[in-house]
């Protein structure tokens, strides 16, 4: 065989293998609610975007879909049992497999979005059980109950954390007095390191992995503090106080150019922290009382943060550098937000679905519709994949054509 052809085939294999082992992430490919899709509609038909298909029967739950291996994965609860559902690209059920008991108290149902890395899938139940499954069949490979095995403590509305992955390390927050944040070997479930950090409970936050030149940093929010931990060693590096009334800090921090924006609801607001060059410390740059989103996330686009408030029930734009509020707008209830191709996709807790221009000049709603299918709260974060908008509402996944 020609040496150049052999080299090309080898490079293709290496690239394919690397891509196949790239973990799926909470809130899109970059973990920040920003999607790279282009050529999307700038307005929708009067009746809303076309519904391509919908899948009913997911049970109770709040997870978003995850995409890998030409499949769509979701979690849901039926009769107290948690299940992973694997759907085809056109919405057909391929398999449904149990991962264990789920949270059945206030706001019952599955909480976390499954994470897929190659041929393995990871799920964290609202009762504190980490489960590794075969992504092709749903067969359970291993389980670890971090409440029983690591002294974890559950919280009022059930632990809620889409797991983060870096290489062979799987990060989870048991919230124990000794084992507050841990790294597990994702192949076996064995404990790699444990950080006591501040010994606080978890706070519904999916952690963020930040790649710095000299360190990989794990950032998460505990019941009263934002914390930074060395992701390779588990060394506790720094903390910043961030309390609120119910110890709920469910928004994954945003990272850009050495800065972290960490924000919480119930009137708390958001703080911009500046990381030192090696990630070993932080300094406060500014604080925004108005950006107090509870569970809907925010996006950073071209130097501006967009999202809705909680006590401050407006949609707003905040300057990343200064914290200055550029606008505060009514017209939609509070909710979740993602971004793609110049537009914000806003999904409110009243079931409104809106397409909004992404500009600091003002909150211009281009199109709006109502999510009528599904059940319970409108809390799941939407996802964009291959020109389609995926909205999970309780027992139903709805797929809209947006390209």
Using one digit for the tens of pLDDT, what is the confidence trace for 289-314? 999 999 999 999 999 999 999 999 99
Q: Any idea which residue has 């910043």 for tokens?
A: 240
Measured CA to CA in angstroms, residue 179 lies from 151, 173, 191, 198, 215 at distances of 7, 8, 11, 10, 22
Question: What's the pLDDT at 15?
Answer: 39
Question: What's the pLDDT at 110?
Answer: 98
> What phi, psi does 335 have (nearest 5°)?
180, -160
Sequence-distant (≥ 6) Cβ neighbours of residue 107 within 8 angstroms: 62, 157, 158, 377
Whole-angstrom distance, CA of residue 250 vs CA of residue 397: 22
> What phi, psi does 287 have (nearest 5°)?
-135, 135
Question: What's the pLDDT at 346?
Answer: 98
Question: What's the pLDDT at 12?
Answer: 42
Ranges in the chain, pLDDT < 70 = 1-20
- Record the tokens describing residue 369, joined without a space: 């519709």
Q: Are strands 335-340 and 34-35 parallel, antiparallel or unpaired?
A: parallel
CB 95 within 8 A of CB 138: yes
Residue 336: alpha-carbon gap to chain centroid: 11
- Give the count of beta carbons closer than 10 Å to the beta carbon of residue 38: 10
Whole-angstrom distance, CA of residue 322 vs CA of residue 57: 46
Measured CA to CA in angstroms, residue 308 lies from 265, 312, 315, 363 at distances of 10, 8, 4, 11
Question: What's the pLDDT at 274?
Answer: 98
CB 248 within 8 A of CB 292: no
CB 121 within 8 A of CB 73: yes
Question: What's the pLDDT at 353?
Answer: 98
CB 58 within 8 A of CB 397: yes
Whole-angstrom distance, CA of residue 126 vs CA of residue 80: 11
Q: Which residues of 250-286 are buried (b: 16+ CB within 10 A; e: fewer)?
A: bbbbbbeeebbbbbbbbebbbbbbebeeebbebeebb
Q: Which long-range contacts (CB under 8 A, 24 or more apart) does 223-227 make?
A: 223/155, 223/175, 223/247, 223/249, 224/198, 224/200, 225/198, 225/200, 226/253, 226/260, 226/262, 226/271, 226/273, 227/181, 227/197, 227/198
Whole-angstrom distance, CA of residue 66 vs CA of residue 72: 6
* Domains of the chain, start order: 3-401 (2.130.10.10)
Question: What's the pLDDT at 333?
Answer: 97
């Amino acid at each position: 065989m020609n040496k150049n052809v052999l080299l090309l085939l080898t490079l293709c294999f290496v690239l394919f293998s690397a891509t196949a082992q790239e973990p799926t992430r909470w809130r899109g490919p970059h973990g920040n609610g920003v999607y790279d899709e282009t050529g999307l509609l700038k307005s929708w038909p009067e009746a809303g975007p076309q519904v391509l298909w919908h899948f009913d029967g997911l049970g109770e739950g709040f997870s978003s879909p995850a995409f890998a291996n030409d499949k769509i994965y979701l979690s849901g609860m039926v009769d107290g049992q948690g299940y992973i559902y694997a759907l085809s690209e056109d919405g057909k059920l391929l398999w449904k497999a149990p991962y264990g008991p789920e949270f059945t108290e206030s706001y019952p149902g599955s909480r976390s979005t499954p994470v897929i890395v190659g041929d393995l899938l990871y799920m964290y139940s609202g009762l504190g059980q980490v489960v590794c499954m075969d992504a092709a069949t749903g067969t359970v490979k291993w389980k670890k109950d971090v409440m029983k095995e690591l002294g974890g403590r559950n919280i009022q509305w059930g632990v809620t954390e889409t797991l983060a992955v870096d290489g062979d390390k799987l990060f989870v927050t048991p919230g124990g007095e000794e084992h507050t944040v841990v790294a597990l070997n994702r192949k076996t479930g064995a404990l790699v390191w444990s950080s006591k950090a501040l010994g606080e409970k978890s706070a519904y936050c999916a952690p963020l992995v930040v790649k710095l030149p000299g360190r990989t940093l794990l950032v998460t929010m505990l019941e009263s503090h934002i914390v930074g931990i060395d992701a390779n060693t588990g060394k506790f590096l720094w903390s910043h106080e961030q309390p609120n009334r119910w110890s709920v800090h469910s928004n994954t921090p945003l990272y850009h150019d050495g800065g972290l924006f960490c924000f919480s609801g119930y009137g708390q607001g958001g703080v911009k922290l500046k990381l030192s060059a090696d990630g070993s410390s932080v300094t406060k740059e500014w604080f925004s009382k108005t950006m107090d989103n509870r569970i809907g996330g925010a996006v950073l686009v071209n130097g501006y943060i967009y999202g809705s408030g909680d006590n401050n029930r407006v949609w707003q734009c905040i300057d990343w550098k200064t914290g200055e509020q550029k606008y505060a707008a009514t017209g939609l209830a509070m909710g979740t937000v993602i971004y793609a191709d110049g537009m914000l996709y806003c999904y409110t807790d009243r079931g409104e679905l809106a397409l909004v221009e992404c500009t600091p000049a003002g909150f211009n709603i281009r199109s709006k519709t109502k999510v009528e299918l599904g059940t319970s709260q409108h809390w799941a974060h939407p996802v964009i994949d291959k020109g389609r908008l995926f909205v999970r509402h309780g027992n139903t996944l709805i797929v809209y054509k947006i390209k």
